[in-house]
Amino acid sequence: MNKIEFFFRWLHVIAGVTWIGHLYFFNFVNVPLQAALDDSTKPNVNPKLMPRALWWFRWGAMVTFLSGLLLFALNYAYVPGMGFGWPGLKAPTTWIMMGMTFGVIMWFNVWFIIWPINKGIALKTITGDAVAAKRRTAYLASRTNTYLSGPMLFGMLGAGHGGAGGATSIVYALVIGLAAMFVAIFHSTKVGKSF
């Protein structure tokens, strides 16, 4: 069981880094880049950039999600000799469940909002006046994920490093997420003004 858990833990971490790294790329780098590109440059850049970036983004999310569910089952819902059952809400489980809740929301946003909209725009199944509204929806889902990434990561690390936690720690986690979102918004308005 230890070798299986070790493999899936590292798969979860590597996939999570890939997913959240692309989330931050889209919010901190790509949003300002797209605003700076003129309409004649976008057709030369986006068809080469976006499909590859979105592939790694969405599959990073899926592998993180699936390996996380498996790890939760192995580490919190399974008791050797007794089998599977619902875990007790002791401190590490509470932290993991908080992180999982935010992670599931983020995964849902990737697979059922952000990716379908971007795919529809790329394949031109979303056209005309609908494009701007759908882009806005995808943008807001992505910004929501940027916000949730702070408390999600806090919850994932809190299980092993956060001790008993409590309401104060959860407030800290939410503030960290809010700070990440404000950095993304602030950076979007400062494109081209710093190196």
Residue 106 has pLDDT above 70, yes or no: yes
Q: Answer whether residue 100 is part of any domain.
A: yes
Structure tokens at 143: 């910004």
Q: Answer whether residue 194 is part of any domain.
A: no
Distance CA 160, CA 151 (A): 15
Residues 6 or more apart from 127 whose CB is under 8 A from it?
none
Domain count, the chain: 1
Contact between 3 and 158 under an 8 Å Cβ cutoff? The reply is no
Contact between 80 and 28 under an 8 Å Cβ cutoff? The reply is no
| Helix, coil or strand: residue 1 | coil
Q: Answer whether residue 142 is part of any domain.
A: yes
Calculate what percentage of the chain has a pLDDT beyond 70: 79
pLDDT band for 179, please (50, 70, 90 cuts): confident
Residue 82 has pLDDT above 70, yes or no: yes
Write down the pLDDT at residue 193: 45
Q: Answer whether residue 195 is part of any domain.
A: no
Closest CA to 151 of 94, 89, 98: 98
For 134-167, the pLDDT digits (tens) are 999 999 999 999 988 988 888 887 766 655 556 6
pLDDT band for 98, please (50, 70, 90 cuts): confident
| Helix, coil or strand: residue 84 | strand
Residues 6 or more apart from 12 whose CB is under 8 A from it?
63, 64, 67, 68, 71
Residue 116's domain spans which residues?
2-189
Contact between 183 and 152 under an 8 Å Cβ cutoff? The reply is no
40-69 burial, b at 16+ Cβ within 10 Å, e below that, comes to eeeeeebeeebeebbeebbbbbebbbebbb
Write down the pLDDT at residue 3: 87
Distance CA 186, CA 148 (A): 17
Q: For residue 135, how many other CB atoms are within 10 A of its CB?
A: 15
Least confident of 20-29, 101-110, 177-186: 177-186
pLDDT band for 115, please (50, 70, 90 cuts): very high
Q: Phi, psi (5° rounding) for residue 192?
A: 80, -5
Q: What is the mean pLDDT of the chain?
A: 84
Q: Answer whether residue 152 is part of any domain.
A: yes
Mean pLDDT in residue range 19-26: 96
Structure tokens at 156: 């994932």
